[in-house]
Structure 1
């Protein structure tokens, strides 16, 4: 009987130990880390994320991040809406549209645009056009991408410079490469809004600079990094470590721009024609959009019918510390 009792007790203790182990997780399982997937486009705005990945800064700060490239902003947005990403490099218009569609995200950092000199956009006219001043855009055909950041920028330029928006004939041309080719050809359109480096390329090919947004009174163009609210709330430490790595990458880019020039040219698809004059952009660490910048975009989206109601600053931006 004693032998049977000892056997039963041993079995009970073994089962208890097994259950306790199952509840606690295995030692290896307890060290498993979630991999966060961050979407990027192959443009200058994504370079801090590429740098953090290349320099293994995410690992240094104890967070596992996979940078995933997309060939188009539309594909990236679809992946975010499908729950396939934990964050991405984008702009505040897309951020608000994601929220409207049910994907709760927050801006946690700036990519480019903390100051006017970052993330330059130009309105350029065809080499064979006589349009060289903003006022001459009245009656002209200008290629944009409707309901996007570039549509918003064009409206802001018109307001600041006193150009009658109703008298500027905008042409829907979302593909930036085709837009660049079209404005250089000067057949279907007379002018276009372009970001660098395509803007610099167009100018090098003879296009005229009509508006340079780095010379305007206000700072209108910002690209941002967003994370899901789920990551911010449930994995706050990881979100903070992600930003630590991101900001360190910016500091490296700003302190050693020449060291990252080759990587930047490759990742940002810099046209060969401007390779000789290309300079790695400067970025601003620990930066967030201002309340004025957010409010201005929200009001524009409501006026355009893109949002039924403006999101508040706190609904758009998170201070992750």
Structure 2
């Protein structure tokens, strides 16, 4: 099948989905006219590309069209987002599996609802970058040298795995705690630290401005996932359950729209994710997965890593069928 035919088929499929959504929207509108409550949900997220399908749904009015009031609330740090989840300020959140497991260990029950990026290795990107002045060329060159990262994060997990794959002994993997990504990037670029672990947007900025990518996780073993989580106190209610079902349907439609023509949504991503100016017009928009729970093969190695690092004080096991962590 030619590329042109594939594009045409995909466009037709997206149009069919949109038509189905309109029918669903009409039903939802009728139900509202009859007095049914509108489902409301607040979603917390960091300012990252992982949640682009929901920004698109907001932009295209898909939430309102389907009888939903959705508030997407952005946070500047994982710590702030964690507080919002724990307090019930948000009902759902885009985060990483480490945060979800730590929440459950601390007494806030959440479920993993779907992978937002990372169903395959080429979705989303994390990597280790250094400045051209550092003299570092390979991961082996970083043995015994401090790497800027935030502890108990997907970035630290990816760093450990990449270093181990390169044969660097665990006792030679050194870190420097730098939680704020902009600070971490600037310290790397100015050669104040040997290297930094960064997400895709900052890796792209570094590449565009002459810094050196030592390694990333976009090839080979699928190391990293971001996930949509929900507070079980929210999904246990009838309105929460209905809102979650509608949200996953809308996510899937938005994913089809993005995957049909990723580059056309670069301006929206640049605005919402605050992409740096040097990459706003060239950043490669990822494909996105349909809503599906993370597998045990994705989550179990992370839980084991957390135990080895003493980040997990409670023995948790992941149930892929329900998305719950079981104590």
Shorter chain as denominator, the TM-score bin is 0.7 to 0.9
> For 1:302-313, what aligned pairs fall within 5 Å after superposition?
302-307=307-312, 308-313=314-319
Q: How does 1:10-159 map to 2 (within 5 A)?
A: 30-159=35-164
Q: RMSD between aligned alpha carbons?
A: 2.0
**Count of aligned pairs:** 290
C-alpha spacing 1:33/1:61, structure 2 compared with 1 (3 Å): closer
Larger radius of gyration: 1
State the alpha-carbon separation in 1 of the partners of residues 267 and 123 from structure 2. 19
Q: Which residue of the partner structure matches residue 275 of structure 1?
A: 280
**Corresponding residue number in structure 2 for 1:254:** 259
3-state DSSP of counterpart to 1:312: strand
Superposition deviation, residue 57 in structure 1: 1.7
Q: Is the 8 A contact 1:232 1:239 kept in 2?
A: yes
Q: Is the 8 A contact 1:179 1:192 kept in 2?
A: yes
CA distance in 2, matches of 1:172, 1:316: 34
Structure 2 distance, partners of 1:87, 1:286, is 14
Deviations 1:171-230 (A, max 9, x none): 1111110111111111x2111111111011112222212112112x31111101111223
Q: Which moved more, 1:48-57 or 1:263-272?
A: 48-57
Q: Is the 8 A contact 1:110 1:288 kept in 2?
A: yes
- TM-score of the aligned structures, taking structure 2 as reference length: 0.83
Mean Cα displacement is larger for which, 88-97 or 156-165? 156-165
Check conservation: 1:106, 1:315, Cα contact below 8 A: no
Q: 1:170 corresponds to which residue?
A: 175
Please, which of 216, 220, 224 is the counterpart of residue 221 of structure 1? 224
TM-score by length of 1: 0.85
1:100–1:72 distance in 2 versus 1, CA, 3 Å: same
Q: Aligned residue for 2:16?
A: none
Is the 1:91–1:149 contact (alpha carbons within 8 Å) kept by the matching residues of 2? yes
Moved more, 271-280 or 111-120: 271-280
Whole-Å Cα distance in 1 between the matches of residues 123 and 278 of structure 2? 21
Q: Describe the SS at the equivalent of 1:59.
A: helix
* Structure 2 counterpart of 1:183, from 180, 188, 203: 188
Counterpart of 2:323 (choices 303, 317, 321) is 317
Distance 2:106 2:114 in 1: 22
The whole-number CA distance in structure 2 between the counterparts of 1:192 and 1:71 is: 19
1:195: which partner in 2?
199
The residue number in structure 1 matching 2:165 is: 160
Is 1:106–1:228's contact at 8 Å kept on the other side of the alignment?
yes
CA contact (8 A) 1:294 1:313 kept: no
Partner secondary structure for residue 220 of structure 1: coil
Quote the Cα distance in structure 1 between the aligned partners of 2:322 and 2:271.
Answer: 32
**2:41–2:243 contact (8 Å) kept in structure 1:** no
Q: CA deviation at 1:34?
A: 4.0
Q: 1:168 to 1:289 in 2, by over 3 A?
A: same
How far apart, CA to CA, are the structure 1 residues paired with 2:105 and 2:33? 40
Structure 2: gaps of 5 or more residues? 1-31
